[in-house]
Amino acid sequence: MPMPRVKFNQDLCKGCGLCVSVCPQRLIQVQKRRLNDKGLHPVYVEQVDRCTGCGMCATICPDLAIEVWR
Amino acid sequence: MQAVFKRTAGLLNIPTHYCPGCTHGILHRLIAEAMCELDILHRTIGVSSVGCTYNNYEYFACDMVQAAHGRAPAVATGIKRVHPSKSVFTYQGDGDLAAIGTAEIIHAAARGEKISVFFANNAIYGMTSGQMAPTTLIGQVTTTSPFGRDPDAQGHPINVSEMMATLPGAVYVERVSLHDYRHIIQAKKAVRKAFRVQEAGLGFSLVEVLSTCPTNWGMDPPKSMDWVAEVMIQQYPLGLFRDPKLEESK
Ligand SMILES: Cc1ncc(C[n+]2csc(CCOP(=O)(O)OP(=O)(O)O)c2C)c(N)n1
Ligand code: SF4
């Protein structure tokens, strides 16, 4: 089976942290040392291989910054 | 590989101006997805109101009209009566719907206008920077209730859904929330149902959506979601207040 994939659009992300709070695998973090075009701290996923492709992050994202495949 | 989640065609590819973590973005997406899934995007006309979402006509991929503060249900009434074959919705905040627009919403419901109202209740005036709204909770601190809302001086919160449910013209009234995954899925069903009730010509539908305003509540976004779950829901219990019993076709 191919590995699930999650893609974050760094420029749409406002770093609100809602996805961070719902990820059951706790894979998402706000990048405190990076700024995007908006001047906000976008999130990134550590250990992508542990993503199960559940889509919870994308469902709670108010900015459609996340896409998920499985 | 299959997409579990991808951007809906019901929203244009434009970043929104909402604050980080504001649930207005989630509600926009649910409405957009519902229009696409029911295949009504091409014949839907939305009415933007006044509040932080005043310019959401920029974001939705359907036709949109902007109404003066509180008047969206009146504008939607006109549109629907002239174009009965269109699906017409309003998107209103609690400052818009439950304060300056109280007369419009009550009479649109009483007349049983065949429109769908999406009512984002965040218990505060967001756009104008956090004044008390009619929906502000007892004890809630806002810029105009700095010591907490005191019912003696500032009255009691208005429970819009319960009030609407007393009107026979309001055939579908439900209160939902966006504070976690499960509730967002539930809210999506309610949004779809509101459109379906209108499509079936049954009457007026209103979905009250408990929303957040992290900026003016002075909380970070995850904390705001907790506040909805723990505090706001006690004043505004979720539930189905009027149910027209649609047959489960779509
Ligand atoms: C006739 C009129 N009166 C007052 C205002 C100022 N005003 C703008 S938005 C707003 C309240 C919006 O609150 P709400 O509907 O809760 O939306 P939110 O910003 O919280 O999403 C007010 C009073 C206005 N624009 N027009
Ligand atoms: S002020 Fe409040 S309601 Fe308005 S966009 Fe910001 S968080 Fe959302």
Tell me the C-alpha to C-alpha distance, in Å, between residue B90 and each of A41, B8, B122, B175, B179.
33, 20, 16, 16, 22
Q: For testing the chain B interface, which of A12, A21, A61 should be mutated: the one with the most B CBs within 10 Å?
A: A21
What pTM was estimated for this model as a whole?
0.97
Structural domain including B175 reads 24-242
The structural domain count of chain B equals 1
Backbone φ and ψ for B102, nearest 5 degrees, come out as -60, -45
pLDDT digits (tens, 9 = 90+) for B137-176: 999 999 999 999 999 999 999 999 999 999 999 999 999 9
Contact B181 A22 (CB under 8 A): yes
pLDDT at B245: 80
Ligand 2 pocket, residues with Cβ under 6 angstroms:
B 18-19, 22, 24, 52, 122, 126-127, 213-216
Of the partner residues B15, B214, B222, the one whose CB lies closest to the CB of residue A21: B222
B204-210 and B44-48 beta bridge pairing: unpaired
**To 5 degrees, how large is the angle CA A51–CA B179–CA B98?**
150
Domain count, chain A: 1
Question: Is B5 inside a domain boundary?
Answer: no
Any domain includes B219: yes
Q: Which domain holds residue A48?
A: 5-69
Question: For residue B165, what is the domain's CATH number?
Answer: 3.40.50.970
Q: How far is CA B190 from CA B65, B193, B209, in A?
A: 23, 5, 10
Flag whether B205 is in a domain.
yes
CA distance A38 to chain B (A): 10
CB A61 within 8 A of CB B20: no
Closest A-chain CA to B22:
A62
- Using CB distances shorter than 6 Å, the residues near ligand 1 are B 50-53, 69, 93-96, 100, 122, 124-128, 133, 213
pLDDT digits (tens, 9 = 90+) for B175-226: 999 999 999 999 999 999 999 999 999 999 999 999 999 999 999 999 999 9
Assembly ipTM: 0.96
Has residue B103 been placed in a domain? yes
The reply to whether B12 falls in a domain is: no
> Does residue B101 lie in a domain region?
yes
Q: Indicate whether B233 belongs to any domain.
A: yes
Q: Specify the residue for token string 């149902």.
A: B193
∠ Cα B96 B23 B159 (to 5°): 45
Short-list A52, A15, A51, A20, CA closest to A35: A15
Query: What is the CATH number for A20?
Result: 3.30.70.20
B47: buried, middle or exposed (CB in 10 Å: 19+, 13-18, 0-12)? buried
Q: Helix axis angle, B181-199 relative to B24-37, nearest 10°?
A: 50
